[in-house]
C-alpha cells in the first residue's frame, strides 16, 4: 500500500525533513509531495493556508497518478483546507497532522495530564485555539488542554541550534500550566521530539508527523480489510 505525504508549502527543506522523520511501516511505501512554486514557502496564517490548498490541488489534479494512493497525510499543523478538498477527490483516508495529534492525545488527556500545543509564530496561537473550538464543537477550550503557545520562531528556522534555548523556555511555560503531553504543532518541529525528551524526560512530546503517518496507516489497513 502506498501513502502520499504532502508538504503543502513550496519549501523543499521541509519535505527533506519529513523524509528523515517518517519511519518505515511494514507493508507500506511512502512518496513525498512538495507544494508548487505558487504555494507559500511557509504557511503563517489562514490566508497562506488557502493559497497553499489552491496551489496544491491544481498540481494534484494535473496528474491522475497523484489521485491513486491508498491514503494521504497533509503535513501542515492547522485545520488545513487541503484535507477537506482532497477528500472530495478521493475515496480513501485523508488526514491532517493537526487532527492526528489530537486524536492520539485524547487517549491520555485528563485535567491532571493536560495537553498543550507548541507552535511556531504568534499568529498561530489564536488560529489553532479557534481550530480546537471547532474540533471539539465547543465554545471553550477543554479543561484538559492549555491554550496554544508559540515558540516565536519562524517555521523555517525552528531546527536552527541558536533558537533551541528560546523554544526550551516556551516548553517550560507549558509545563508550568500542567501540560504533560506536548503536541509539536508545526511540521518544522518534527525531528526535535527526542531532543526535547532528553531535556524534559517526564514530558511526552508528540511529533505530529510521526503519529500522523502511524494513524493514517492504521486507517488504510483497517479500510482494506
d(CA 47, CA 118): 21
Task: Using the predicted structure, report yes or no on whether residue 189 has a pLDDT greater than 90.
Answer: no
Q: Where are the domains of the chain?
A: 2-97+210-224, 99-208
pLDDT in tens, 77-100: 999 999 999 999 999 999 999 999
CATH code: domain 2-97+210-224 is 3.40.50.12500
Task: Using the predicted structure, report yes or no on whether residue 188 has a pLDDT greater than 90.
Answer: no
Identify whether the C-beta of residue 97 lies closer than 8 Å to the C-beta of residue 76. Answer: yes
- pTM, two decimals, is 0.93
Pick from 97, 102, 120: nearest CA to 208: 97
pLDDT in tens, 2-49: 999 999 999 999 999 999 999 999 999 999 999 999 999 989 888 999
The fold for domain 99-208 equals: Rossmann fold (3.40.50)
Q: In what order do the strands lie in the sheet with 2-7?
A: 29-34, 2-7, 71-74, 94-96
Q: Which residue has the cell 517526564?
A: 202
156: which 3 cell numbers?
523555517
Q: Do 2-97+210-224 and 99-208 show the same overall fold? A: yes
Pick from 32, 26, 28, 30: nearest CA to 187: 32
**Residue 151: φ, ψ to 5°:** -75, -15
Q: How confident is the model at residue 225 (pLDDT cuts 50, 70, 90)?
A: confident
Specify the pLDDT at position 90.
97
Amino acid at each position: 500500500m502506498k501513502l502520499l505525504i504532502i508538504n503543502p508549502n513550496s519549501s523543499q527543506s521541509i519535505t527533506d525533513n519529513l523524509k528523515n522523520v517518517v519511519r518505515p511501516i511494514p507493508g507500506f511505501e511512502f512518496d513525498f509531495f512538495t507544494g508548487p512554486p505558487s504555494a507559500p514557502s511557509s504557511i503563517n496564517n489562514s490566508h497562506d493556508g488557502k493559497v497553499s490548498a489552491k496551489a496544491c490541488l491544481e498540481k494534484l489534479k494535473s496528474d491522475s497518478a497523484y489521485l491513486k494512493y491508498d491514503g494521504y497525510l497533509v503535513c501542515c499543523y492547522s485545520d488545513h483546507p487541503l484535507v477537506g478538498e482532497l477528500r472530495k477527490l478521493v475515496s480513501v483516508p485523508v488526514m491532517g497532522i493537526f487532527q492526528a495529534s489530537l486524536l492520539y492525545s485524547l487517549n491520555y488527556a485528563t485535567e491532571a495530564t493536560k495537553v498543550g500545543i507548541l507552535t511556531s509564530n504568534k499568529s498561530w496561537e489564536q488560529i489553532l485555539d479557534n481550530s480546537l473550538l471547532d474540533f471539539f464543537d465547543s465554545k471553550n477550550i477543554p479543561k484538559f488542554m492549555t491554550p496554544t503557545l508559540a515558540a516565536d520562531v519562524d517555521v523555517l528556522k525552528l531546527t536552527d541550534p541558536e533558537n533551541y534555548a528560546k523554544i526550551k523556555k516556551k516548553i517550560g511555560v507549558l509545563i508550568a500550566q500542567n501540560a504533560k503531553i506536548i503536541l509539536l504543532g508545526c511540521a518544522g518541529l518534527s525531528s526535535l521530539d527526542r531532543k526535547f525528551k532528553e531535556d524534559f524526560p517526564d514530558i511526552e512530546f508528540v511529533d505530529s508527523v510521526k503519529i500522523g503517518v502511524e494513524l493514517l496507516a492504521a486507517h488504510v489497513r483497517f479500510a482494506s480489510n
